[in-house]
Structure formats: C-alpha cells, structure tokens
C-alpha cells in the first residue's frame, strides 16, 4: 500500500510517498520518528494530525477504530454556514490507520539538523515568470 505523506512545518508543506507498512495500527496524535520514514529525516519527530482514505473520507479523532462511521456533526467538515442548531450527518473514518488510508498528514514536532528545504530541494521552489508574447502592432 502506498501512503502519500504531507509533512507540514510553519505554513510550508512537503510531499512524500512511501510503500512501508510503518503507519498501519498507529492513530491520530501518535508521534513518529523521522528516520523510520526516510534516513534523511534523522532527528525529526512528526505527529500524525489527519488523513483520508482512497474514497476521500477524512479521519476523525473522535471516532474509535478503523472503519467508516456516519456521525452527526455541528460545524466544520464541509458545512457551508453553520446555522443555529444545524447538524449534518457525515461519513468519516476512525482514528486508527489501516490499509484503506491513502493520505496521511504529519506535523513537525521537533526539527532535525538538516532543514526540510534541503531534504526536498525540488519542492516549494518559486514559480518561474512566464514571458507573455507581446501583441504585434497593426500598421
């Protein structure tokens, strides 16, 4: 199973894909050492903050287990305008990571020696300015 990881630190995020079963059985809020994911992430500590499955159902820290559950929510989770007493039933996935999860969000708790900008040099680079062709003048 391929997990798509989103590592976030101070408003920036870096993407990474791994095929390891390292995250199976862990739950939201657990801390993972960076070197377990990739040797370059030595010294980093990452907290699992969220994720979603292949169908797009988000993980919820309030739902125990690893299956899908339909819960009644008051605000957030795709609700446009939470009115007075408005509640919607939404399907969410439990807080335990299984093989059904495809994307995992990780927050940096402790930074390592090497900054993430050097570990992932090809990501978060400024976009190049595209030169627009000048329109030809009419004679």
Percent of the chain exceeding pLDDT 90 equals 45
Residues 40 and 34: their CA atoms lie apart, in Å, by 8
Give the residues across from 51 on adjacent strands. 104
Cα atoms in the Cβ-side hemisphere of radius 13 Å centred on 33: 5
Residues 77 and 73: their CA atoms lie apart, in Å, by 8
Residues 53 and 129: their CA atoms lie apart, in Å, by 36
pLDDT recorded at residue 129: 59
Query: Can you give the pTM of this predicted structure?
Result: 0.80
pLDDT digits (tens, 9 = 90+) for 73-129: 877 666 666 566 777 888 999 999 999 999 999 999 999 888 888 888 888 667 665
Distance of CA 48 to the CA centre of its chain: 9
């Amino acid at each position: 199973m391929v997990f798509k990881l989103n590592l976030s630190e101070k408003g920036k995020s870096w993407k990474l894909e791994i095929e390891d079963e390292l995250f199976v059985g862990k739950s939201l809020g657990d801390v993972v050492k960076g070197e377990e994911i990739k040797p370059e992430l030595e010294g980093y500590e990452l907290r699992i903050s969220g994720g979603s499955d292949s169908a797009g159902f988000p993980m919820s820290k309030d739902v125990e287990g690893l299956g899908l559950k339909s819960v009644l929510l008051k605000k957030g989770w795709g609700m446009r305008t939470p009115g007075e007493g408005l509640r919607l039933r939404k399907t969410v996935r439990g807080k335990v990571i299984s093989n059904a999860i495809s994307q995992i969000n990780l927050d940096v708790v402790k930074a390592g020696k090497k900054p993430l900008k050097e570990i992932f040099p090809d990501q978060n680079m400024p976009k190049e300015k595209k030169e627009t062709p000048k329109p030809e003048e009419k004679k």
